[in-house]
Amino acid sequence: MTSLLAQTPLHAWHAAHGGRMVDFAGWSMPVQYASIVTEHNATRAAVGLFDVSHMGRVRLSGSGSEAFLNRMVTRRVAGMNPGQIRYALMTNYDGGILDDVLVYHLRDARGTAYHLLVVNASNRPKIWDWLETHHDGADVELRDLTLETTMIAVQGPRALQIVRAHVDLDPASLRYYHGAETQVAGAPGLISRTGYTGEDGCELIVPAETSLALWEKLATAAAPLGGQAAGLGARDTLRLEAAMPLYGHELNEQINPFQADLAFAVDLEGRSFPGRDALAKLRDNATLPRRIGWELAGKRVPREGYAVLIGDRPVGRVTSGTFSPTLGKPIAMGYVEPALAVAGQDFSIDIRGSHEPARSVALPFYRRPQ
C-alpha cells in the first residue's frame, strides 16, 4: 500500500484487525476484513461499523451561509429547521451532477447556527473549488473538517442500542435525517440519524484524536450482538440492495437528476442555482436514458459497463451489479431507453458473451422491516 494514500485516524486498527486495504479515492480504506457477505449479513441482522472518514466534511458558518448554500444546491436550504438534514445535489451549468451531498443545519454549543456539507471522497477537491469559485464575498466562512475529524457509520437494527451508551443524547429521539451536536464518548461531537445501507442507524463525527477509543468501545459492544466492523465491500452491497446511487456509477456530470430518479431532490420553483435553467428544460425531456433495476435468475453477476439488450439490440448499460446476500440472487442498476424504464420488462445482460435473462423490478430491491 503506497504511503501517498491518505489514512483515516482508524487506519492502524483496520490493518491490525485483518482489513484488506485498498486505494479508494486516494484513501487507504478497508474493503473487507474476512468476508463481505458476513459483514453484510451482520449489518442486516445486528450492527455493522463503518469507517467513512474519507467522506468530505465542510463547515459553512457566518450570516450568509444559508443563502449561499441555497443558491449552490438543487434543494431548498432556506427554511431548514435546526437539526434538519437534507439530501441534495450540486449540478454544473448543463444540469449534470457534480456530486450528491448531505446538507446539515446545526447549532453549536453556543447556539450559533451553521451548516455542514458532507460530500463524496472522490469529489471533495472539486466541490471545494466549486464553492470557492462561487463564493461572492458574503459573510461565509468555509472550513474543511475532513482531516481533523473521524466519521463512523453505525448501521443495523441494533445500531441505536450500542450508540446510546456513548452519547449524551438518545439517538432514538432523533427523527430520520436529523442530527445534533452532543458529547460523544466524552468529547464534543455530532450524531445524525443517517446512513447508506438501507438500515436504521446513525453516523457520528468526532475529533480525530478521540475516535479510536470510541471505535473500540463500539466494536466491543457490537460483538456480543452479532455485529462487527465492515468494509467498503459490504457498504457497496448494502447500498445497492437499497438502490442508493453511487457517484461515479449511477451519478456523474453527464447524468441529470431526473434520469437518476432523483426528482425529489430538485426544487426549481422560485430559486436560482448553477444548472437550474438547464434542469427546467431537462425535467420534461423524455428522450434520455433512465435508471432502473434488474434481478437475474441465474448466478452470474452483471458488472459496470455490461450491455443491456432486448433481443440482440443494445438498449442500455449496467452501472452497478452484485450478488445480493439478502435476496440470494444477482441484482443490478443501470440506464435504459426511457420507454423501457418500467418494472416487469424482460431484458438480457451480456455477461462476457453470454446473454443472461434479467427482469426489471421496482426499486429498492430491499426494504428493512418496519
| SS3 letters across 305-335 | CCEEEECCEEEEEEEEEEEECCCCEEEEEEE
- 6-48+152-241 architecture in CATH? 2-Layer Sandwich (3.30)
pLDDT at 312: 95
Q: Is the pLDDT of residue 43 over 60?
A: yes
pLDDT at 1: 44
Q: Where in the chain are the domains?
A: 6-48+152-241, 286-361
Q: Is the pLDDT of residue 137 over 90?
A: no
Question: How would residue 8 be classed by pLDDT, with cut points 50, 70 and 90?
Answer: very high
Q: Say what percent of the chain tops pLDDT 70.
A: 99
Q: Please tell me if the domain spanning 6-48+152-241 has the same topology as the one spanning 286-361.
A: no
Q: Is the pLDDT of residue 311 over 50?
A: yes
**Residue 365 CA: distances (Å) to CA of 35, 233, 331:** 22, 18, 8
| Average pLDDT value for residue range 205-224 | 98
Nearest 5°: the CA angle 44, 118, 262 is 70
The rounded distance, in Å, linking the Cα atoms of 81 and 316 is 41
Superfamily the domain 286-361 falls into:
Aminomethyltransferase beta-barrel domains (2.40.30.110)
Strands 290-296, 354-361: pairing is: antiparallel
pLDDT at 358: 98
The rounded distance, in Å, linking the Cα atoms of 338 and 287 is 6
Q: Is the pLDDT of residue 29 over 70?
A: yes
| Average pLDDT value for residue range 226-233 | 98
For 80-112, write each residue's pLDDT tens digit.
Answer: 999 999 999 999 999 999 999 999 999 998 889
- pTM of the predicted structure, to 2 decimals: 0.97
Q: Say what percent of the chain tops pLDDT 90.
A: 96
The rounded distance, in Å, linking the Cα atoms of 310 and 296 is 15
pLDDT at 355: 97
| Average pLDDT value for residue range 290-297 | 97
Q: Is the pLDDT of residue 13 over 90?
A: yes
Question: How would residue 286 be classed by pLDDT, with cut points 50, 70 and 90?
Answer: very high
Mean pLDDT of the chain: 97
Q: Is the pLDDT of residue 3 over 70?
A: no
Q: Is the pLDDT of residue 2 over 80?
A: no
Partner residues linked to 347 by β-bridges: 358
Question: How would residue 221 be classed by pLDDT, with cut points 50, 70 and 90?
Answer: very high
Strands 48-51, 228-229: pairing is: parallel
The rounded distance, in Å, linking the Cα atoms of 367 and 370 is 9
Q: Contact 56/248 with Cβ under 8 angstroms?
A: no
Q: Is the pLDDT of residue 222 over 80?
A: yes
pLDDT at 370: 79
Question: How would residue 135 be classed by pLDDT, with cut points 50, 70 and 90?
Answer: confident
